[in-house]
Amino acid sequence: MIPSVLLASIVLASPTPPSSGQGASLVAAAAASGRPRECASTVRRGLSRRPTVWELARAPELGRYCDLVGRAKALLVSDPAAAKSAAEGAEKVMPGFAAPRVLLARAHLALGKLDDAAREFELARGKDPRSVEDPPTMHDLAEVLRRTGKLDDALVVYRALVPRIDLLGSADRRVAVLLEAAHVSMAVAASRATPAPAEAPSAEAKRSPLDEAAAYLREARQRPPSALSGDVLLSLVLVLDRNGERVQADAALADARASGVRLRAGGPSYLAAAEDKACLEALAAEGAAAVKLWESYLAGPGGKTPWAAAARARLEAAKKAPRAAKGAP
């Protein structure tokens, strides 16, 4: 689990969502936020916070360290292997700081080495809990936690990240964060589900555990069209269905089918529960294909989830749906 000190620092530092007029300045601020404190001057000179000549003279290795950290950060997207090498160099020049560990974690994630990424993030947080607070790093941390099955911890990070998504440079990445957060929230809700009490439920109990997931997806749907628009709409149908809002789910599904919505090619990487892939594909399909997918979901782990009843209702509806005439478009 994430240490409570880190969780507090992440949540308390979360800003309110930025207004549209702040976009460019906030993106610039996000880009600058990754500079480690040891590479910032104690003397402010206009917009510059780089170490002064005197600070570098007192710590001759600092300049080389900061150059390597900057190089590693710049290469993360284009050449993660080179970024890893630069971060390792920074750690050798000045051991003991969090920044190289953060960059190593992010490089390992880009290279597909999840266990190494998780280990390096843990080391970085141990040295400085605030080292993971800039939005791109926070997203990478959330992804590592999600993909290694630490969903409760991942949800805490996503909750802090969502108000900051406009600080992420790519529109697709912002939508991806909302999709990931929704599916993590849904998976956590499933793990915490308890049988309904015999007596009348309280007002608190009436609040659905899927309201949070639905809110993330509604926000994603308000965003400009992207490569993930189909995934967003079908995920929203799935959440509404599981939330007992069948009328709204049917309306959203009709919109999806009318516009020819399909899942993004390559498979949904945002899932927190792998079995939900069959549900999304079933919602996008019709007829015998949909029946087969719903049956596959119910025959596997999905049949033991709190959402099994909603899946059975969709299965029965798919069986009763009129089939298109042979040869019809």
Residues 292-324: pLDDT tens digits?
A: 999 999 999 999 999 999 999 999 999 987 764
Can you tell me the mean pLDDT for 89-93? 95
pLDDT above 80 (res 48): no
pLDDT band at residue 267 under the 50/70/90 scheme:
confident
Nearest Cα to Cα of residue 190 among 302, 280, 312: 302
Contact 14, 160 (CB under 8 A): yes
pLDDT above 70 covers a percentage of the chain that reads 77
pLDDT, tens digit, for every residue of 214-258? 999 999 999 998 889 999 999 999 999 999 999 999 999 998 888
Instruction: State the burial class of residue 5 (Cβ atoms within 10 Å of its Cβ: 0-12, 13-18, 19+).
Output: exposed
Is residue 33 pLDDT above 70, yes or no?
no
pTM: 0.81
Tell me the H-state helices in 111-209.
114-127, 135-147, 151-161, 171-192, 203-206
Of residues 174, 301, 191, 300, the one with CA closest to residue 229: 174
Query: What is the pLDDT confidence band of residue 194, given thresholds at 50, 70 and 90?
Result: low
**CATH classification number, 32-40+53-129, choose in 3.40.630.10, 1.10.10.350, 1.25.40.10, 3.40.50.720:** 1.25.40.10
Q: Which residues of 283-295 are buried (b: 16+ CB within 10 A; e: fewer)?
A: bbbeeeebbbbbb
Residue 9 has pLDDT above 80, yes or no: no
pLDDT value of residue 55: 57
Determine the pLDDT at residue 52.
60
Length of the chain: 329
pLDDT of residue 56: 56
Banded pLDDT at 58 (limits 50, 70, 90) = low
Structure tokens of 276?
A: 């939900």
pLDDT band at 32 (very low <50, low <70, confident <90, very high): very low
